[in-house]
Amino acid sequence: MPGIIEVAQLAGVSTATVSRALSGNGHVSAATRDRVQAAALELGYVVSSNASSLATGRTKNVGVVIPFLNRWFFSSVIEGAEQALLTHGYDLTLYNLSGGGDERRLVFEHFLLRKRVDAVIAISLELTPGEVGRLLAMNKPIVGVGGPLPGVRTLSIADVELGRLATEHLLSLGHRSIGHIGETEESETDFHVPTNRRAGYESALLAVGVPVDPELFRSGDFTIQGGYAAAKQLLGNPRKRPTAVFAASDEMAIGAILAARDLGLTVPGDVSIIGIDDHELAEFFGLSTIAQFPAAQGRLAVEILMDQLHPGHRDQSTVNTPLNYELVVRSSTARPATPRR
C-alpha cells in the first residue's frame, strides 16, 4: 500500500507538505494542494484518521448542537454546515437536545469534552456561562447561530425587524385588521424568537395608529399542524375575522393557508397570509415571506470556525455578525377585498 513518501515523490514535494496539504493544517498554495491531492488519488493513498489525530491533536470533527431535528429551519442550517465542512475535510457529529435538560447536561458536560470534536456550532441555543467556559477551557472554539452570546463568535437575526417588516408589508397593502400566529411566553424558546417577532408585529401596528388587539393572537407552536389549529380559531370567528395574518414561521403560515381553504376562504381574496423563513414549500404555496437563508447561516458558521481552528486567526470572540434577510412577495398577500354593498 502506498504511503506518504510515495505521494511526496510523485507530487515533487516534501512529506511535511503532503501532510499539510491533506490535513488542512498549515499554509499550502492552491496549486501545490491540487498536485498533492491528485498524487494521493492516483496512488490510492488515504490519510489515517487515527494517525492524523495523534499527530495534530485534531479529530477533524465538529459537533453541532440543536434543540430540534424535525424542523425545516434547523435541518437546513445543518445541511449548509455539513456541505461547508465537507469542503474543508471535516466530519459532523449531531447532538439533538429535543429530549430535555438531562440530554443537554450530558452533551455539554461529557460528550463534547471527550476530545470527540475540535469545535462546536450551537444553533438557536442560549449557552450558559458554564457551558461556554468548559468548552473554551478545553480549547474548543464555538460559534453560536441565532443570537448574541457573551465571549462567543455569533450569528444573529434581527427577529424584531423581521416581525415588523412582515407586518409593514400587510399594512402597506391597506390591511388594518391583522392577526398574528406565534407562541405564548410560557412556551418561549431560546433567544426569545416568538416574543421578538410578536414585538415587531405590535410595533408596526402602533406606528400607524392601529391598536393591538389580543383577540387577534393565537399560539401555533411553529408547526404546520399548530398553525392550522390556530388559524381555524382565528379565521373561524365570523364577528372578528382579520383580513390578514402574520405567522411567525412559514410552517405555521402554510398551516394557516390550509385552514383558510378548509373554511371556504380564498387566499389572498378573503385573507392575506405572510410568514418567515422562505421554507422549501413556500413557493409551492405561493407564500409571501421574510427569507432568512438558513443554509447560508450554516455555511457562514463553518467559515468562522475554520478561521478560529487554523493558526494565525485574529481573536474575534466578542463579535456578533448580523444575518441577512429579505422580503419575498408572492401570491398569498394582496390588498383587502372591497366590502360588498
Mean pLDDT, the chain, rounded, equals: 87
The string of pLDDT tens digits covering residues 171-211 is 999 999 999 999 876 656 677 889 999 999 999 999 999 99
Q: Identify the DSSP state of 220.
A: -
**HEC assignment per residue over 195-214:** HHHHHHHHHHHHHCCCCCCH
Give CA separation, 9 vs 5, 14, 15, 17, 21, in Å: 6, 8, 8, 11, 14
Mean pLDDT calculated for residue range 30-57: 70
Domains of the chain: 4-56 (1.10.260.40), 61-157+294-310 (3.40.50.2300), 159-291 (3.40.50.2300)
Assign 339 a pLDDT band (cuts: 50, 70, 90): low
* Separation of CA 17 from chain center: 37
Top-confidence residue, 134 or 260: 260
With vertex at residue 112, the alpha carbon angle to CA 110 and CA 113, rounded to the nearest 5 degrees, is 65
Mean pLDDT lowest among 41-55, 125-139, 305-319: 41-55
How many Cα neighbours within 13 Å face the side chain of 296? Answer: 11
